[in-house]
Amino acid sequence: MQLKQLCDFCDDYLKVGEFTDYCPNGLQVEANPEVENIVCGVTASQALIDAAIEQKADTLIVHHGYFWKGEAQPVTGYKGRRIASLIKNNINLLAFHLPLDAHPEVGNNVQLADILNWNITHRFGEQGLILEGKLPSPQSLVELSQHIENELDTRTMAIAAGEHSIERIAWCSGAAQGFIEAAAERSVDAFVSGEISEPSFHLARELGVHYIAAGHHATERYGVQALAKVIARRFGINQQFIDIPNPV
């Protein structure tokens, strides 16, 4: 398929134009007009680029790409080396951030619900990023944390905010710890995100909402895989997910 065809499909399918984001979504590095072999991953690190080169990929699709707001603009240092590797090896880079978190079919948050067997009941918060749902049956904080660790192959950090069991839950992948206040306004029993910061401990206890940080990388492995599978089915091209382990 042609690169433009892929870009147009992704932009439309993910409704990229509807989001205000911290980085450009879509094509970030153009290096090959043809797309036959896609590698997808979470972050466009040098390790992932090297793995894509080894697999003779012509296109790399990620959740975390480049050109974030506030970062230095010169294409030098590690950023220059990464982009040079892509161009030298004729590999395109497509990145989708918030559109891939929020998508109702392949989004990171919907994918988490599917993997963890959480029933989605509402979508709320900034740009509809936060999901709310119910567990199949009430669980303790320890039980829920263990379930997440088992299913996502991660280690959690759990902050107890009382003795109450958990049935109503809200979640948002990645660095969404700041959404705990929005979750508390929904009177949920617990909020799950990827990261945790120093204020999260106090906010969880004062708001009465259990908090579980399951890892930024661990909670954002699944959207890009689901997107790549949709592309492969629709256009009949090869795709594979390469996981570069990251404990954060």
Radius of gyration of the chain (CA): 19
Taking only the tens place, the pLDDT of each residue in 65-106 is 999 999 999 999 999 999 999 999 999 999 999 999 999 999
Q: Which residues of 67-88 are buried (b: 16+ CB within 10 A; e: fewer)?
A: eeeeeeeeeeeeeeebbebbee
Which of 98, 7, 88 shows the shortest CA–CA distance to 53?
88
pTM strictly above 0.85: yes
- Residue in the block written with tokens 């904080």: 141
Taking only the tens place, the pLDDT of each residue in 12-44 is 999 999 999 999 999 999 999 999 999 999 999
CA torsion through residues 100, 141, 202, 156, sign: negative
Angle at 241 between CA 232 and CA 95, to 5 degrees: 80
Fold of 104-216: 3.40.1390
Map out the domains of the chain as residue ranges. Answer: 3-101+220-241, 104-216
104-216 and 3-101+220-241 share a CATH fold = yes
- Report the C-alpha gap between 85 and 51 in whole angstroms: 11
Superfamily of domain 3-101+220-241: NIF3 (NGG1p interacting factor 3)-like (3.40.1390.30)
